[in-house]
Structure 1
Amino acid sequence: MPIRCTLNFRVSTVFLLVSTFLSCHSGGVESAVVTLDSIVIYKTHEWLASEPTVYFQCQGGNKTKLPDVQKEHVLYSFNGEESWQPLTEFESKKCKRCGFYEEDSIKSDDVFEEWEFCPSDFTAPAGKYVRFNAEEFNATFLCLQCTAYSNGSFRICVTCFFSILPTQIGLMQLYNTFLRRECQDLESFENICIA
């Protein structure tokens, strides 16, 4: 019986560690959605008197046109529920090369600015990031999930571990109690059969 109890303790310990690890990392990769909160453009690049077509794009991503943004020195605010939102998504803490552009009817599109757009740029707790170019634009982005990347997933995993630990210990005790009762029932049954 002592050998069996030691084995049960080892199985319970392994169960505790594996289930806690899996609960911290369940769900796979969660994407962090980035939306545009507000933007002001300071100058357009269009030579003709037509209204500009401003868009946002990350390298290898879709072109997201901003249909409302048409005039200089006007603050455009958004609630994140527009049909063209979100602007982009981060699948990890890796940065993306992104920028604001203006469609040009004659030559290649004009560039307001391109930069390395990173989840770590967003500040907690509001998840805001302001990109300012004195000659071109001022934009504010929102990404609540990005603050988890910038704060570090280690803290999240440690918090998860210690919040789930009491439940796992309780399940381990319940399992050990069940095994002890099974052993006692088996011993009682063997004693009855021998007698």
Structure 2
Amino acid sequence: MPFDYKKEYKEFYLPPTTPGIVTVPAMNFLAVRGQGDPNEEDGAYKQALGMLYAVAFTIKMSKMGKHKLEGYFDYVVPPLEGLWWQEGVHGVDYACKADFQWISLIRLPEFVTREVFDWAIREATEKKQKDFSPVEFFPWEEGLCVQCMHIGHYDDEPATVAAMEEYAKAQGYEADFGEGRFHHEIYLSDVRRCKPERMKTVIRHPTKRTE
């Protein structure tokens, strides 16, 4: 049975629809950075996703090839994630998508070292005949956050974010946006197959104890 991060770490991927406080440990990711409206047809965001998934599945499917990765275990490729921010904005302004800066992420299993990552980039480049240099090996420790499962369209997230902020304040926490601390989304639904009102997205915001 392939290891499924969503099922094994439910506190990070399947939180309730009411806000809660969580401490997120260090993890390694594949990452591509960019800016602009994610809904732009054939834009930078959609190109970034194509690169991420190509490298992610190169690693996963290495079991079928001659190059055996030390410590490899079969797993389900973790869900797509996104870090979002806009210069001079607290959190995000959903009305100004063209101003978005973002880092798209896919979590890496623990056996993926920098050496394995470098191999995967070379392998994907050779097989796809495409430049994968924008893909980064991205170690990141998110730390203390408030999070909640959002059900519905992305444009309806402000109501969930408001509930998260209210909960955090009541528990003695405040927002902690800044360097390395972003509006974070984890996408659990396939937008091609799921009705907008049923889409599931984990929303996570950095927080700290109110002084």
For the aligned pair, the TM-score class normalised by the smaller chain equals: under 0.3
In the superposition, the TM-score normalised over structure 1's length comes to 0.21
Find the structure with the greater CA-based Rg.
Answer: 1
Structure in which a larger fraction of residues adopt strand = 2
Structure in which a larger fraction of residues adopt helix = 1
In the superposition, the TM-score normalised over structure 2's length comes to 0.20
User: Taking CA–CA contacts closer than 8 Å with sequence separation of 6 or more, which of the two structures ends up with the larger relative contact order?
Assistant: 2
